[in-house]
Amino acid sequence: MSLDAAAWAAVALSLRVALVATLLGLPIAIAVAWLLARKQFWGRGLLNGLVHLPLVLPPVVTGYLLLLAFGTQGPIGGFLRDTFGITLAFRWTGAVLAAAIMAFPLTVRAIRLGFEAVPPGLEDAAATLGASRARVFLTVTLPLIAPAVLAGAVLGFAKSLGEFGATITFVAAIPGQTQTIPSAIYALLQVPGQDGAVVSLVVISIVLAMGTLALAEWLSRRMTARIAG
């Protein structure tokens, strides 16, 4: 493929960002999905709206809000910089944050459907036998929703790979530092005679997406068969 070192760096960074964003966001997504599926509390509708807000907001708006909050002059970003020496804006870690936020609604939705498909009576029966709530969750609920968790993780990973608007607004597209596959494609489209490199990156994107979906389908079938057995 006709790609230079910067383009391959964009591919590697995209995979890194997507993987870290998925791993960091998954535990939070499971907790939020459990709250929305199992609990009734004041502000539940507000929480549900906030979770799904990135789906309906223009990604550029989300990126701008991240810049306001997590930029070096923002309240959270300034605190992180002054207290811990952590800077997110225009860093690959900021790309992780942007990707995680944009993927979060899809991950939560898939896992929430899994929780709602598990009859609460199964959990109650295990609790009446003396198991603690934590043990019930780990030994009964979590294995039953494992395919849903996997589906949510795959959706989040795929969304993170393709995230563009929020990422480029929050961390720009610095080659070798914050430039991911989508921003690399966009940059190449602005330069005449780069059609070959663009096509190569597009093909890589399709291969990565299809490979991820195929792996998820295989793992989901194995999990489902194991649970049924």
For 164-190, the pLDDT digits (tens) are 999 999 999 888 899 999 999 999 898
What is the predicted pLDDT for the residue at 142? 86
* pTM of the entire predicted model: 0.89
Please give the Cα distance from 112 to 145 (Å, whole number).
9
Q: In the CATH scheme, what is the code of domain 5-228?
A: 1.10.3720.10
Q: Where is 174: in which H helix or E strand? A: none
Structure tokens at 26: 């998954």
Q: Could you give the angle at which helices 146-162 and 195-228 cross, rounded to 10 degrees?
A: 170
The pLDDT value recorded for residue 2 is 62
pLDDT at 151: 87
Q: Which residue has the higher pLDDT, 137 or 28?
A: 28
| Predicted confidence (pLDDT) per residue in 12-53, tens digit | 999 999 999 999 999 999 999 999 998 888 988 999 999 999
Q: Supply the pLDDT for residue 167.
A: 94
Q: Where does the pLDDT of residue 156 fall: very low under 50, low under 70, confident under 90, or very high at 90 and above?
A: very high
Q: What is the mean pLDDT of the chain?
A: 88
pLDDT of residue 10: 92
Question: Taking a C-beta distance cutoff of 8 angstroms, is the pair 23, 221 a contact?
Answer: no
Amino acid identity at 185: I
